[in-house]
Each structure stands twice: as structure tokens, then as C-alpha cells.
């Protein structure tokens, strides 16, 4: 069952992207004085980054 859920990425890899996204979101939120919006965007980017990079690096169909 765990084999089916594993996409070749460990939870630590996803956590790294999440930390980077939150950090950038907080930094831009402080710069542009709108922390709530940028923090949400940073979390979204951090959660989607592994999926985007996985598709880019797989070399599969780019539909």
C-alpha cells in the first residue's frame, strides 16, 4: 500500500520546498506590506513546486 502512494519523492523533499516557499512568502509580504496574501502564495508555491519540477524533469509529454 505504501508503495502505491510513493511517487519517488520523500516527505523531506516536499518539506524543503514548503520551507522555501514560506520563507519567500514572508519576505515578500514584509516588503510589500501584505503578509497574509504573500504567505498564502508562498505556501501554495511551496506545495506545488515538487509537482511542477517532477513533470519538468521527467521528460514526458508536456501537454
Helix axes 35-58, 11-32, angle to 10 degrees: 140
Using alpha carbons, select from 5, 3, 19, 59 the residue that is nearest to residue 27.
19
Digit-by-digit pLDDT tens for the chain (63 residues) are 455 555 556 677 778 999 999 999 999 999 999 999 999 999 999 999 888 887 766 665 555
42 C-beta neighbours (distance < 10 Å), count: 22
Place of cell 502564495: 41
> Can you give the pTM of this predicted structure?
0.68
Amino acid at each position: 500500500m505504501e508503495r502505491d502512494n510513493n511517487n519517488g519523492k520523500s516527505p523531506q523533499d516536499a518539506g524543503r520546498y514548503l520551507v522555501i516557499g514560506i520563507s519567500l512568502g514572508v519576505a515578500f509580504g514584509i516588503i510589500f506590506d501584505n503578509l497574509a496574501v504573500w504567505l498564502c502564495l508562498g505556501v501554495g508555491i511551496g506545495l506545488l513546486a515538487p509537482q511542477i519540477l517532477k513533470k519538468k524533469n521527467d521528460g514526458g509529454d508536456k501537454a
